[in-house]
Amino acid sequence: MSEQKVFLIFQDTADARPFIEALEQENPAATFDYQPGMVRIDGMGELKVTRDVVSEKAGRDMDLQELHLTLVSLSGNIDEDDDYFSISRH
Amino acid sequence: MSIQIASKEIKPLRLNYAHIARRMGGDTKPASRYQEAVLDVQPTTNFHYPPTWEPNKQLFDVTRTAIVMNDWHTFADPRQYYYTSYVTARAKQQEVMDNSFEMLEKHGLWKTIPDSVLNTIRQVLVPLRHYEYGANLNNQDICDRGYGAPITSLASFNGFDRIGMAQYISRIALLIDENEETSLQAAREAWLHDAAWQPLRHAIEDSFVLDDWMEIMVAQNIVMDGFIYPLIYGRIIPQLANQGAGALLMLTQFMSEWYDETVRWSNQLMKVISAESPENASLLKQWVSTWTARIEPAITPIAALALGDQASAVVASVKQELLTRLGKNGVAV
């Protein structure tokens, strides 16, 4: 795992909230920058969310693919499955 | 010539209403819609008149239950249902159910179900519409006399769900009778007079007149449903599906989904209330054991209508599941 920057940018909407909260919980080292209308999440090396935590935050069973509905941009190599979504640098 | 577009950020001075900011311990991030819908919505003071039907109590009164909470907003619905999220979720599910009914009717899929299985459906499933209606009354009663908006709003939504499920059961009856009312009438007779149904009817009618609304919550939404749903929709219907009534699984899909939801919020409610104080925990324990003892023998004859001699064993396993689940959430009986 190289220590390079990866980031995710979400729209600042109610739909994105479960993802943002789950990222906050699962990536304590990440920084959250609330800009007008969007939230920029920067991490070193890796950012990861799991489906269980997102579902818990949303209060229903979520499909992780729903993150694309509120995602503005991302940088990093995606590794994803039904149960987790992560970006890192290879 | 190039145009530089600069974005200018205007920070709002406040993100939340003051009462919500106080609840959230600061005004650092915006509250969710659910939080705005329930937090401090419960009226607590300045009631003009004491209710004429209960002059010794206030209009909204914490003493209508023996459960004592320091703060009735400690519990939050894990599903985060407020009006919009609830209605949106149910509208989606309703569309799926409607499609299922339509498809079955169009292709006459229920015609392939053997008569013996149809009779079991008539005997075991159809009378439950009266049970659902009773559950609606209980939940609306909790909403009426309860305290704490997160709990009363949930009870109200729950009551609506029960009406909906009573209607689904009625539609199943009309479907298998090709729109004749024979099954509906027979189910009403069974509910009123058939020996197998009387203990359950007696239990639910006794729950109508309980004074303590939290006891109604435990009796109805946790104990009775905790027996009926896993038994009927978790055991009996899958068995009937194996005997050729596969179509039935589609028509009761909502009930299974609904019960999964119920398990989630009721676990949370038990956890929060029992963690508040040992007195609360022992009250919950007492109600659970009273109603479990009452309901187990009451639904065994109903289970026997479908399962014959295995009924007692199946009901016992359902009971064990319920007690294990409650044990994990602070109510060990």
Distant-in-sequence, close-in-space partners of B181: CB < 8 Å, separation ≥ 6: B174
Q: How near does any CA of chain A get to the CA of B291, in Å? A: 29
Residues in B closer than 8 angstroms to A35, CB to CB, are 9
Confidence of residue A1 (pLDDT cuts 50, 70, 90): low
Task: Give B102's pLDDT tier (boundaries 50, 70, 90).
Answer: very high
Q: Under an 8 A CB cutoff, do B79 and A36 touch?
A: no
Helices (H), B45-127: 83-107, 115-120
Which amino acid appears at position B179 of this protein? N
Amino acid B15: pLDDT: 87
Average pLDDT over residues B129-153: 96
Residue A10: strand pairing partners: A39, A71
Distance from CA of A32 to the nearest CA of B (A): 12
Is the separation of the CB atoms in B129 and B275 below 8 Å?
no
CB-based contact, B92 to chain A, within 8 Å = no
- Beginning with the edge strand found earlier in the chain, give each strand of the sheet holding A77-80 in spatial order: A46-50, A84-88, A77-80
Q: Please tell me the distance from the alpha carbon of residue B59 to that of residue B43, in angstroms, as a whole number.
A: 9
pLDDT value at residue B48: 84
Which residues on neighbouring strands pair with residue A5, listed in sequence order? Answer: A44
Confidence (pLDDT) at B270: 96
**pLDDT tens digits, one per residue of B9-65:** 788 888 899 999 998 888 888 888 899 999 999 999 888 888 998 889 999 999 999
Contact assessment for residue B209 and residue B138, using Cβ atoms and an 8 Å cutoff: no
Mean per-residue pLDDT of chain B: 93
Q: What tens digit of pLDDT does each residue of A23-79 get? A: 999 999 999 998 888 999 999 999 999 999 999 888 888 999 999 999 999 999 999
Q: What is the pTM of this model?
A: 0.88
Q: Is pLDDT at B307 greater than 90 in this prediction?
A: yes
Nearest chain A CA: its distance from B289 CA (Å): 30
- Collapsing DSSP to helix, strand or coil, B10 comes out as coil
Q: How far is CA A52 from CA A11, A57, A85, B87, in A?
A: 22, 9, 11, 24
Q: Does the pLDDT at position B149 exceed 70?
A: yes
Quick one: pLDDT at residue B111? Answer: 87
User: Which among B224, B255, B229, B232 has a CA at the least distance from the CA of B120?
Assistant: B232
| pLDDT tens digits, B257-268 | 999 999 999 999
Give B220-275 pLDDT, tens digit per residue. 999 999 999 999 999 999 999 999 999 999 999 999 999 999 999 999 999 999 99
The yes-or-no verdict on residue B98 having pLDDT over 90 is: yes
pLDDT at B20: 92
* Among A90, A53, A49, CA closest to A71: A49
How many A×B Cβ pairs under 8 Å? 17
Closest CA to A70 of A10, A7, A18: A10
pLDDT for the residue numbered A2: 58
